[in-house]
Amino acid sequence: MDYSVFCKDFTQEELLFNAPMSEYTSFKAGGAADLMVTPESKEKVKKALLICKSEGLPYFIMGKGSNLLVRDSGFRGIIIYLSKNLEKIELLNDYTIKAEAGITLAKLAGFAMEHSLAGLEFASGIPGSLGGALYMNAGAYDSEMKDVVLSAGLIDDKGNELTMQNGEMQLEYRNSIFQKANYIILDATFRLSKGDKEQIKEKMLELNSRRKDKQPLDLPSGGSTFKRPPGHFASKLIDDAGLKGYSIGGAKVSEKHAGFIVNYNNATANDIIALMEYVKKAVYERFGVMLTPEIEIIGDS
């Protein structure tokens, strides 16, 4: 594939050929992408999309890569990486903030706290970007993005810009319209509530402390590996199947939290995928419950 078409409209700083995706994903594993484009503006995001469309180039929109695994064979196409430059955030009024899709949830929650706005405390410890969080309706501690997002600025697959309201996003447990239709999330607006800055900070510290106590944050992972099955908890099913500590290659089911597969010893993407499949099979054979990955896997098989 000819990627030289990008050289005319993008600077050298915005283009990384043969991008090592293990350096850009939280699993710290996987192969290289042919080209990573890091647009410096929303207009450049649109330009990158239109080039991919007109040239028939495969592409993938990426945030912080916290729920993403690239196969060892790599990705033959374009990664449009939003979390390097699209991080602007602003206070629109006493209750509303607007931020670009590349900003981390930690920065988003911190900005809300500094302006004494409550509602995003749950997000402060989630290791992802705003765009990725909205894409999967990320949540923790009984709160989700759908509880606070007001609207989102998007580009459709023809390059048209539009605004979508909360009620149109089909936000459900780890699901949204963005997983079913070709939209690029550029920014989002949040409606929050006035609170006490110190109390908001205290709640964030408490939630992050609970996360640190229960989750294997000292090892690379993709966060929760599987979605919560109806009527069950994935981590309990995996634990009850006796799989804590089970490993394939350098990938292991965390001994601290069975819901996490961790890269404990230079795991390959193949190690991680093989372990995911083993866990799915073992849990199904034992309990008749089929686990669904929360991790998105891309690249050539």
Q: Could you read off the pLDDT of 82-101 as tens digits, one per residue?
A: 988 899 999 999 999 999 99
Question: What are the tokens at 139?
Answer: 């949540």
Whether the CB-CB separation of 258 and 238 falls below 8 Å is answered with: yes
Topology annotation, domain 234-298: 3.90.78
Are 69 and 269 contacting, i.e. CB atoms less than 8 angstroms apart?
yes
3-state SS, residue 252:
strand
Contacts of 182 (CB under 8 A, 6+ apart): 156, 157
CA distance 171 to 178: 9
224 is catalytic: yes
Residues of the chain with CATH 3.30.43.10: 4-81
Phi, psi of 275 (to 5 degrees): -70, -40
Which CATH architecture does the domain made up of 4-81 adopt? 2-Layer Sandwich (3.30)
Dihedral class, residue 290 (left if φ above 0, else alpha if ψ from -120 to 50, else beta): beta
The CA distance from 69 to 275, in Å, is 13
| Per-residue DSSP letter, 122 | G
Q: Quick one: pLDDT at residue 76?
A: 96
The pLDDT of residue 1 is above 90: no
Name the active-site residue from 124, 224, 235, 254. 224
Both ends of the chain: CA-CA distance in Å? 18
Cα separation, 228 vs 34, whole angstroms: 34
* pLDDT tens string 14-32: 999 999 999 999 999 999 9
What pLDDT sits at residue 139? 92
Q: How far apart are CA 164 and CA 169, in angstroms?
A: 7
For the structural domain made of 89-214, what CATH number should be given?
A: 3.30.465.10
Q: Where in the chain is the domain with CATH 3.30.465.10?
A: 89-214
The answer to whether residue 182 scores a pLDDT higher than 90 is no
Would you state the pLDDT for residue 301? Answer: 74
Among 151, 174, 176, 254, which one carries the catalytic annotation?
174
Q: Are 162 and 169 in contact (CB under 8 A)?
A: no
Alpha-carbon Rg for the chain in angstroms:
19
Can you tell me whether residue 139 is helix, strand or coil? strand
Taking only the tens place, the pLDDT of each residue in 224-277 is 999 999 999 999 999 999 999 999 999 999 999 999 999 999 999 999 999 999
Contact 96, 90 (CB under 8 A): no
pTM for the model stands at 0.93
Share of the chain above pLDDT 70, in %: 100
Q: Is there a contact between 52 and 90 (Cβ–Cβ < 8 Å)?
A: no
Please answer whether residues 116 and 199 qualify as being in contact, where contact means their C-beta atoms are separated by less than 8 angstroms.
Answer: no
The CATH 3.90.78.10 domain(s) of the chain lie at 234-298
The model's pLDDT over 140-155, given as tens digits with 9 standing for 90+, comes to 999 999 999 999 999 9
d(CA 120, CA 105): 9
Question: Is residue 110 scored above 90 in pLDDT?
Answer: yes
Tokens 């890269």 label which residue? 263
Specify the pLDDT at position 157: 86
Contact 50, 72 (CB under 8 A): no
